[in-house]
Amino acid sequence: MGFYNDRVFPAMTDKLCSSSPTQKQRQKIVPLAEGDVLEIGMGSGLNIPFYATEKVRKVWGLEPSAGMRARAKLLVDASPLDIEFIDLPGEKIPLEDNSVDTVLMTYALCTIPDTQAALEGIRRVLKLVGQLLYCEHGIAPDEKVRRWQNRLNPAWRKVGGGCHLNRDILALLAAGGFTVKTDERLYIPGIRVLCYNYWGSAQA
């Protein structure tokens, strides 16, 4: 299990999440981040090249996986950004209340076990005038695709590190106390059960 978590899963996730369509999605949302930024699920650092360095003071990369942090090292070291990895001691984000200007979350909400606790933690550290930027895959609008998402979800979660195919991203954000300000949705190229994307911004 350790080998899978440290080597196989990080490599598989990096491959899936670095496809051309997902990189184009990152390019739409990551440059909007500014100030002091908390990135939820930094993974292998795929967002790093898309930050607008002139607008960002600091990036905290929340990433519990040692394997993912190891894969991100080259991108972190090569970036001019001030990037610091943080973990989740006691399931609490180790940052002060109202300390972050932007929270960035790309392809992460699908894997978080307790989404409401996570979003509460994000609201705690986000400044009152701060913004949550998100880009996620989730439940599709087409009944046939949704049926396949629900059917495949149990098996996919086992091989995908807890990733859910069928989460309702907008409903989760609302339940977590966020108001969506901008919202776009479409299928990006790829397997349709994996490729219905939501992206935009929200405020607490």
Q: Is the C-alpha dihedral spanning 16, 179, 57, 67 positive or negative?
A: negative
Structure tokens belonging to residue 181: 């300000």
pLDDT in tens, 124-165: 999 999 999 999 999 999 999 999 999 999 999 988 888 999
Instruction: Write out the two tokens for 44.
Output: 């292998």
Q: Is the pTM of this model over 0.95?
A: no
pLDDT greater at residue 78 or residue 16: 78
